[in-house]
Structure formats: C-alpha cells, structure tokens
Chains A and B, each alone.
Chain A
Amino acid sequence: MTDYSAVSEAANDLAGARIAITGGTSGLGLALVRECLARGARVAFVARTAERVQQVAMENAGAHGIVGDVSSKEEIYPIAMQITGELGGLDVLINNASDLGPVPLQMLSDTDCEDLERAFNTNVIGPFRLTKALMGALAASAREARGAVVLNISSDAAVNPYPGWGAYGSSKAALHQLTRIWGEEHASENVYFLSLDPGDMDTPLHAAAIPDADLSTLKQPADSARELVDAIAATLTTSNKSFAPANTVSRFEGAIR
C-alpha cells in the first residue's frame, strides 16, 4: 500500500472539504465522522435510525445528520439532495454502510436469498445509486480544483473465499470491481475512486460475524479511520496535479481467521 502517513501530520489538512459518510453512527463510520471533523472537514453523515442520527449530530458539533437507508431506491435522492444541499456541494463520498448478510454467518447454500439481496442492496446497489446521483457534484469539485474522491470501504473478504462470508464477500467483491471501473471511466475528469480495506476492527459488524473474537487482535476503528482519511487527504492533494496515485488503491491484508 502507498504510504500516506506523512499527510496526517497536518491537523487541519481537510479544512473546508465537504465529505459525506454513509453508516455514520457506529463502528468505522462514526470514527470516520470524528476523524474528518477533527481535520477540519465539513461533514454530513447518513444512517437509518433517527434517534442515533440526532445523538451523533449532537455529540459532534458541526456534523449534519441525515436519516436514510441507502439500500432503499426511494431514499437515495432525498439523501443525495440533503448532502449536496446542506454542504453546498460535495468533494468526498465515503460509501461505508455495510450489511453482513445472514447473522450468524451461514454457508452460501444455507443463505436465504433475502439475506443475499439485502447485502447486495446495501453494499453494491446502494453505493452505485448514491454515487451516480452525486457524480455531478463530485465532477464539479474536480473541475474547480477542489479534488473529488469516492472511497468505497472494502474488505479482505472481497478477494479471499472465507467460508461463511459468501453474501458479504461476494457483494464486497462486486463493489471493488465497480470502484475500479468507475475509476477508469472518470480518471480523465480527475474524480478518483478508492477501494480500501480498513482491516479487522472492533466494531458491531465484526462482533455480529465473530462473537467470540479475541478483541486484543482487532484494530480500533479510530486507527483505521485515520489511515483511510490519510489516503483521502493524499488523493485530494494530488488529484489535480500531474502525479496521481493509482485510481484504485487496495490493501488486502492477510487472512485473519
């Protein structure tokens, strides 16, 4: 992986950047909200539960909370409209909201179709719809030399065939490939697409997948958030110069189980 660590030295390196984060009230998403705010960004976050959205907005001054479900076709445009409305445009979209599939994890042949569908709706179709609805705003940011980045949260399960992770892994694989193709198609417009694996973290999603995991082996979401935001900051600063990082920066850590 490209080393972005030097970037985090600057505390306010995202000053004024307009960033939207889905799944922003727990786990990695919440850590991303806090990290982006701490680095000076203007943040809108999306989550399904109104009470949680309100609570996180209250605890994180300046963050715009948006209630919505990215897996629902009808909710995408209301979400997109609030993001660009409240932020006045958009420089960075982080598609972070994820669905694990069946809980507890099941072998693929035991997975209900509905669980697979839900995972694909949240992890693939939702990010597709939301990114498409926001592409105009992102391309405008790129033209105005603010930089434009879409970060899709990936997983090592997108490339490794872990038994039991069929719905999640196959949907994350689809999202990864979507990211790569989008990156190719919009490279000449300077809209950059990242697909990054945050590593195995101590989050509600991980606890649902592996309830008896040894927590001491897991990363803190705040640490992953810092690395991911380093990557965004580096891409924003380079995206309008002749040097550009690979359009799709992927880091797939080794197997954890």
Chain B
Amino acid sequence: MIVATQPVQRPANARLLVVDQNRRIDHMLRTSFVEYLQAGDLVIANDAATLPASLQGVHNASGDSIEVRLAGRSSLRPEDMNYFSAVVFGAGDFHTRTEDRLAPPHIAVGDQIILGPLRATIEKLLGHTRLVLLRFEGTADHVWAGLAHHGRPIQYAHIAAPLELWNVWTRIAGPPVAFEPPSAGFALDWHALSQMRDRGIEFETITHAAGISSTGDEELDRLLPLDEPYRIPEVTALAIQRTKEQGRHIIAVGTTVVRALEHSASGDGKVRAGDGIATQRIGPSSRLRVVDAILSGTHERGTSHYELLRAFLDDATLERANKELDESKYLTHEFGDSVLIERPC
C-alpha cells in the first residue's frame, strides 16, 4: 500500500475494498458504500471530535523544550479535565518521524511542565519513562481554553502541511474527546447520511475517546491501545437490540466502535447504554457478539488495528485482501482508502 500524504477526508476517487460474508473480494468507489448496505441495517459511528492533543512546552527542571501528546483520560465528563495520561517527546516536531525523535529529558514525579498558558505536574510514571500521568492546574474551563488556544492536532510526519482541527474533525464530530481522529468516519458526510435514510438504513453514534495510535517507541506501542472511555446513548443501545432481534446487520464505522460495543456486551452479550472504559484488546481469538461488519481504514500488519480485523476474518482471507490492497496500490493511514469487512456467515 501507499501512504496517503494529502489531508483530504473524502477524495472523490477514494476506494473501498469489500470482503463480503462469502469471503468474496470486490473493489468499488467508497462513495458508493451506501449502495452495499441493506434496508434495516444499522450503521454506528464514533462521533468524538478530536482534541488538539499535541502541546509544545518546557520541562522546568531541565529547561528543555518538550512536546507532550495527551493520550488518555479516565472519563468523558466535561468537568474532569485535570488528569490525562500523556506521552512525552524531546525537542522537535512532526517533521521528524516519531521513531527518530529526540528522547525527552529525564522526567521525575513532581516535575513541573509549562505548556503555553497551561501548567502541569507529573503525577506518576505509567510503566514507561515517557508515559506519564499529568495533572493540569486550574478549572476545567481554563484547561479547555488552554488546549483550544495552545494545542495542535497530533501531526504526522507523512503529511507535509500542518494539520488543523478542520482537517481532523469528522463531519459528525460532537464532543471533543478523541486524541487522534476516529478516521474511519472521514468516509461519512451529510449527503451519505441522507442517502442512508432514503434507503431505510439506520444510523446511530457512540462517543469513544480514541487514543494515540503510535508513539514511535516499540516498547510503548506494545502498551497500545490504552484504556479508552466511551459512552453509548440509550437510543443507540435500543437500535442495536432492535436490529439484532430483526436479524439485520450492525456495521461499525471504525475500530473504536467495535471496541466500545464489544466491551459493553462482554457480560451477557447485550449492549448497555451508559459510560464504560474499554480495556480489552481485540484479536484473532476474540469472539464478536455485536458487530457484523466493519468499515475501516486499510491497516498494516502488526498494528493493533490489523489485529482487530483478525477477529472478523481468518488469516488466509485477510492475506488475500492484503495482496489485492498492495497490487491495486490502495492508500493507507488516516487519509487513505477503506475496507468493508463482513464476518463470514
């Protein structure tokens, strides 16, 4: 596959590789994705907007410049804005690949960090010298304003121009709780939602605080995904129940939706409305109890996203799909092409 380097959410020629429930592979334009769905199907997307989670600042004890990438939070409540888990980088910015970034200065519990208008203290190290628990000073509104004015969306070395929030917010973006964009949702726009309605396809959302996707550090990346809080609205839980009862399909837009719904259903198989924290990893041995199909980006082997796809499909079929993605030069990463994978019947 080829890395997508232009931050365009819906290029007119974006492609979609479909693996249907009979393991047949098909190629189509992504804009015709809706035609693939059946009346009565339920599409569920993550409506989290993306925080400007990258903050440049200074580590007081050493006087060194650092970059802090907020990576997690234990709740979605608007007033819980003091504590974040975060990954610390040394001086520099996204023009350098994360793998090649300078190490941060030695960081100890109690150290102060100045991030523009925000002050924070290192409360804890979270099992790695670069993964920390930060405590911001001030009220929740002070932290929201500080992030809004000083933060930038997490950037990618493979995209030359700096990303702005409007590049990474999906059309359906609501509460700003994601640390990196739930980018499978880039495929959706208001026109697609109106097409779905016309065709009798239901659409609902969840809110899931999608975490950081890669840190450039193998040891750290093995800890991903971090725990992610989510919220499932009552109306979504009811729609899932109804769809299941009618034997129709549930299509998740993105890996975060799969993670939230399957976490919620991990007890008795029923998705419950309300707040939760997804702690599980999904892989080849996971049993999916809710989601029948996933619309997702194209993912490379070895990533946690790819592992999740293995819960949908056997390795042989996934390998066939990979071969076609490579041969047909599909684009990958946040602004790349997409796959639609149905669980075999």
Contact = CB atoms under 8 A, between A and B. Distances in A.
Interface of A: 64-67, 77-82, 84-90, 133, 135-137, 139-140, 143-145, 185-186, 188-189
Given A81-B52, A188-B197, A64 B141 contact: yes
A88 B77 CA distance: 7
B174 A188 contact: no
B89 interface: no
A136 B170 contact: yes
Contacts of B215: none
A78 B149 contact: yes
Contacts of B190: 135, 185-186
B49 A136 contact: yes
A189 B205 CA distance: 14
B234 A144 contact: yes
Is chain B's binding surface mostly helix, strand, loop or mixed? mixed
B163 to A, nearest CB: 12
B205 A143 contact: yes
Given A81-B148, A136-B170, A145-B235, 9 more contacts: A67-B145, A81-B49, A82-B144, A84-B49, A84-B175, A88-B175, A133-B173, A137-B175, A143-B235
Contacts of B165: 77-78, 81
Given A136-B172, A144-B233, A81 B205 contact: no
B78 interface: yes
B166 interface: yes
A86 B140 contact: yes
Which one of A67, A79, A82 has the highest number of Cβ atoms from chain B below 10 Å of its Cβ?
Answer: A82
B171 A81 contact: no
A205 B174 CA distance: 33
Nearest to A78: B148
A contact patch SS: helix
B34 to A, nearest CB: 15
A134 to B, nearest CB: 8
B234 A85 contact: no
A45 B177 CA distance: 21
B169 A82 contact: no
B144 A85 contact: yes
Contacts of B20: none
Contacts of B169: 77, 133, 136
B174 to A, nearest CB: 4
A188 B190 CA distance: 12
A139 B174 CA distance: 9
Contacts of A144: 233-235
Closest 5 CB pairs of A and B: A78-B148, A77-B165, A137-B174, A136-B172, A88-B78
B60 interface: no
B194 A188 contact: yes
A164 to B, nearest CB: 36
A86 B52 CA distance: 15
Interface string B159-200: 000001110011111111000000000000010011001000
Interface in B46-65: 47, 49, 51-52
